[in-house]
Structure 1
Amino acid sequence: MLRSQTVNTIHDLHQQGKTVQEIAQKLEISRTTVRKYLAHPEAVIPKPRPPRPSKLDPFKEQITRWVMEDHCINCEVIYARLQPMGYTGGISILKEFVHPLRPVVAGHAPVQRYETEPGHQVQFDWGEFTYEQEGIIHKFYGFTAVLGYSRMRFVTFVKRCDTPTLIRCLMEAFEYFGGLTRSALTDRMKSVLLEMQENKPRWNPRFADFMVSIGVTARVCKPYTPQTKGKVERTVSYVKQSFWAGVTFTDLDDLNRQAHRWCERINSRVHRTTHARPVDRLEVEKLQPLPQAFAWERFATEERKVTWDGYVSYDGVLYGLPGTLHLAGTTVQVRERKGVLTVWSQGQEVFAIEKRPRSQESVPHPEQWTGIPSASAIRRAGAPLGHQQQAPQVQSRALAEYDQYCGVSAGAEVGA
């Protein structure tokens, strides 16, 4: 097949009046070729080549499911998942295939970036993460925290997002970072801020006590301006796109182990904004030291009432307590730290057990009924007791005897 430039020259010479032989001699081609292109000008259009097989072909169906069903659009994540499945190609052809499948992103107005000094601020927020189990949709709450200067990120997943859980997640985040910042910025959530009264915040009492005790200033962003805490907003979105989409796990503990490994990888990569690794910039943060002993641990406890059959409920799981403790019907303090559930009563640690990650589970204690009498014995022992005795015997007397005893005669009574 001739090039289009040569074919154009053939038609140009023919319009100038040149013969077929003259055109063939000038272009050094055969007369048959000249006649062919003069008779069929469309022959210059090349036929499309059949598509060549790609290393990505065996995986395109799986990639489409990840993008369309799990909404995983991060090519780096998809690329990492394909490699254990046998994919040996590059990431460029992967990006070319995924790009048309991505949803259209609406534009937004630019926002000025707000940077903070080292050790000054941590931003935290919640996100809802849905998952499917046996065809039923459930959800976890993902707690995300990011240091403003170094961009160190921390993620953990829990079953609830109340104030005690928020405080526990903040404690885990500060421990992961290795210290405290001078301030913390978040949304106007009820677990942090109850309301604004005359432009003055009325903080959640438990949250306020925690922040004051550890010396961290609490701040909330203005209403309807999530851009104020854009670092954590972007992190929540990044967690959903890069970690959550298509993730598989057996239980909550397994999920959090995967999340911890993911944080280690992300914090070791060069950040696109700072052009440095967060783990390297963390050394410049110079965070304040963590409180020790009771000043720190007391905020990780929650009050629970022990049922009359000796169970204490925590995160949807019933834990049986030893019967020798005699805690049925009393209020105890429960603390979850690093996978261990500890029960305190009157300031003393009385019981500890490994936390179960699955809800709707009951964990009886082997000695739960040791020393506990049966219900029938308790009823017998506590039932009021009365006493029956024989009635006294009364002697029968004639009425005249009573008259004589009283000094009254029968005749006097008649005369009167």
Structure 2
Amino acid sequence: MAFREVSVNEIREVLRVWLGVAGLPAPGYRTIAAHCGLDRKTVRRYVEAAQTAGLRRDDDVSAIDDGLVGVVAEAVRPVRPDGHGAAWEQLLGFEEQITKWVAGTDEQRPLTVTKIHILLARQGCVVPYRTLHRFASQRCGFGRKDTTVRVVDGDPGVECQIDFGYLGMLTDAVDGRRRKVYALIFTAVYSRHVFVWLSYSQTLTAVIAGCEAAWEFFGGVFAVLIPDNLKPVIAAADVVNPRFTQGWLDYAGHVGFLTDPARVASPKDKPRVERAVQYVRRNFWDGETFTSLAQAQEAATVWCRDTAGTRVHGTICARPLEVFTAEEQPKLLPVPGVYDVPVFKAVKVHRDFHAEVARALYSLPEQWIGTVLDVRADSELVKFNHRGVLVKVHPRQPVGGRSTDPADLPEHKTGYALRDLARLISACASHGPNIGIYAERILDDPLPWTRMRTVYRLQGLVRRYGAQRVDQACSVSLDLDVVSVTKIASMLERSTETGAAALPRAASQSTTRFARDPSEFTNTPTSLTIITTAAAEETR
């Protein structure tokens, strides 16, 4: 028969009944055994041990104190003073071997208790498995030995733990794809009230969207958030000095909370939300069928309020929603305005005086060419910073757009880069009025920017021949209604810009219509004479 250890309360009850209750006659061993659920011989051993310790039958119940019960327990179990039996004593001879099996070696992995139980049986040591498991755990280093403490809850409305958890698959109603669904879970440390935000991704945009929905659900903002080491939140994990991402720091500054991230691979740093992940998956998600993420999110919000919020929590023994409403909600921070999620990145300024941000171009001064700048771009503005100093601000442009500040470009290239015709004409007019008019005539075209190079050639002639000569050549060309920079260049090369070439004139001012004699135009018939061969020979 297996050994059954009698508890302290059972020993106390045996002795109390043996003394008699409420003036009733003292019962015998058999009656006491039936009342206490023990064997008669067991009752006799405890009573005899109590009598040996000085207990008399006419004593009061107060004589049965803790000291007497301890003496009786030690006296009845002398063969097991340490609480262990023969199987334990047998294992003591194999303690060194079991310790090696549990620890493992370079050539062999640590063994399980089941395997150790088999190996011991081969060596003739047959003991119960539970005894071996206790022995390996207590004396040989098997299993976890570290202890933990329960950290007290903070003040109401201060701490909120957040974590992502995978729920399952959902068929997207938009494209019909099967996609993974993640739950961003918010757990109020004090009241255990939870909120669940569903998402297809774990990006910074998804985290901020979940936070915005959580503040609306809770009716306020918690002073301290305790997240896991999420990549959108933590850029570089560290036990003491973690480095946050630029986007998360910007959002935290906008809302007004502090971030106290958990250590890497330390779920005990945020145990409230860790336990909530399983609860959300099993109680809310499992067994449900949703047609879209929006429908699932609506159901999750209702579940958080009506199911998770109204259950009696096992730790606080109260309903989380009631505790939150009464003690936490009045102490939350106010909800700020809607947050415009920005884009943070580092960009390089290229040789064309522009940097690309979100597939749009923005100009910067020449001094920043080749420099990497930090950018913050929201839906309204794009800000460029260098080592914390703001160097340029542009209005946000759509994809494919461009924002160019003329002041950022070299003065002699601004007109060409911006296709500024008025600026180009004004530059030409500064050299001479006729040059300005001539440039305006050149640009008088359905596609004027295609003629800008011609105007630049005209400016080149000014630099080569001087403004006065070019202005004179343009004046002559305008008088003749000839718009050709090539002609202007030819005139300057031949130095004919001071006047037009003389046209040929007649010798006299008389009419020249019938100047020649009419007889010159008369046809006189010529007679034809035939000379024979004989006549020709005579002539010779």
Shorter-chain TM-score range: 0.3 to 0.5
If each structure's helix is expressed as a fraction of its own residues, which one has the higher value? Answer: 2
> Structure 1-normalised TM-score?
0.46
Task: Choose between structure 1 and 2 for higher RCO, CA contacts under 8 A separated by at least 6 residues.
Answer: 1
If each structure's strand is expressed as a fraction of its own residues, which one has the higher value? Answer: 1
Structure possessing the higher radius of gyration over alpha carbons: 2
> Structure 2-normalised TM-score?
0.36
